[in-house]
Amino acid sequence: MTGKPGKVTQREIARIAGVSQTTVSMVLNDRDGSNIRIPDATRERVRRAIEQSTYVADPAARRLAGLDNKILGVFTYESALTPESMDFYGPLLNGIERAAESLGCDLLFFTSSPVEEGRRRLFHRNTRLRLADGCVLLGQQMDGEDLERLVAESFPFVAVGRRDETDAPVPYVGIDYGALTGRLLDRAAELGHEKVLYLHRDLNSPTARDRLAAIGRAPGALAVAPFIVGDDLSDLPQVVARSGATAVFAEDAFLVEDAALALADPSLSLAALAEVRGHRIGGRTLSGFH
C-alpha cells in the first residue's frame, strides 16, 4: 500500500517555478492581479507550477489573512437529503449548485451539527463555518439565536425565505406569498367562485403564516375555509362536498398534486399557492404561480 502523499508546500512551488517563496506567497495572495511588483511572466510560472503540483492553499489560513476561499457554505435546519425532504429541498439545492458553478465557487455542506434537545444549530463546535466565505441558510424554521449572532458578527449570509424568528435585520431572498395569494384569490372571485377550500399542513413557518394572512384578506364575495390536512387524503372528497366549495387551494404544489389524485371531480378548480410550472396531474394543468 502506498503512503499518503505529502502536502505540497509553497517552498516546493517556489522550487518548481524558480522563484522565491515570498514571490509564491505574493502571487497566491494577490487576488485581483493588481500587485505591479510581480511581472506577468513570473506570475505565469508560479501558476503553472501550482497546476503541475496540484497545490491547494490552506483555507483556514486564507480566512485568517482576510482572503476569499471561493467556498460557499450551505446549512439546512432539517434533513435535506431524505426521500421525503427532497421534494422541497431538491430544487433549492439544484439552484444553489448552478449559481455556485457560475461563480466559480465550491459548496461546503455543513452536516456535522447534530440535533440536540430538539434543535439543530449552525453555531455548533463541530461546524466549520469559518472555512466558508459566506453561508446560505435553508429551513422551514430557523434558530433565532443563530440568526442574531450571524448579524451581530457581520458574517456574510442569506436566508431562503422571509424570517421572523428574530427582530434582527436578516438578509433573505424569497417569494411574496401574500401578494401572490391575493392575486389568485382575486382571480377565483373573477371566475365566479363563491366558496374556496384552502388545504394546508399544520406548519408554523413564516411562509405558511403569510399565506394564511392573505387568505384572511380574501375578497368579500369569496368565502375561504382553511382546512388542515395530514398524510391521508382519502376523505377529502367528502370534506369538499360538505363545504360546498367549487375551488380547492393548497399551500404548495405537492399538496395540490395529492389533492388532485384524491379528487376525481373534474369540475373542481385546483390551485396551489406556490410555483407550479411543470406540474400536471392526469393531463390537467394546475393553477398557481408562474
Q: Domain containing 263 — which CATH number?
A: 3.40.50.2300
Indicate whether 41 belongs to any domain. Answer: yes
Residue after which a domain boundary falls, among 121, 142, 173: 173
- Looking at residue 140, its pLDDT comes to 84
CA–CA separation, 243 and 228 (whole Å): 14
pLDDT in tens, 218-250: 988 899 999 998 888 889 999 999 999 988 998
Indicate whether 50 belongs to any domain. Answer: yes
* Together in a domain, 133 and 225: no
Indicate whether 66 belongs to any domain. Answer: no
Q: Which long-range contacts (CB under 8 A, 24 or more apart) does 232-236 make?
A: 233/258, 233/259, 233/261, 233/262, 234/262, 236/199, 236/262, 236/263
* Together in a domain, 159 and 260: no
Mention every residue, 6+ apart, whose C-beta is less than 8 A from residue 35: 26
Split into its structural domains, the chain has a count of: 3
* Together in a domain, 34 and 78: no
DSSP 180: H
* Together in a domain, 256 and 274: yes
Is the pLDDT higher at 36 or at 22? Answer: 22
Indicate whether 276 belongs to any domain. Answer: yes
* Together in a domain, 165 and 186: no
- Looking at residue 63, its pLDDT comes to 52
One-letter amino acid of 244 = G
Full 3-state SS string of 86-115 = HHHHHHHHHHHHHHHHHHCCEEEECCCCCE
Q: Is the pLDDT of residue 106 over 90?
A: yes
Q: Is the pLDDT of residue 107 over 70?
A: yes
* Together in a domain, 53 and 117: no
pLDDT in tens, 276-286: 555 555 555 55
Indicate whether 4 belongs to any domain. Answer: no
* Together in a domain, 189 and 132: no
- Looking at residue 268, its pLDDT comes to 74
Task: Give the residue numbers spanning the domain of 30.
Answer: 10-57
Q: Please choose, from the candidates 257, 247, 237, the residue with its C-alpha nearest in 3D space to the C-alpha of residue 215.
A: 247
The DSSP secondary structure of 188-216, one letter per residue, reads HHHTT--EEEEEE----SHHHHHHHHHHT
Indicate whether 224 belongs to any domain. Answer: yes
- Looking at residue 266, its pLDDT comes to 72
Q: Residues, the chain, total?
A: 290
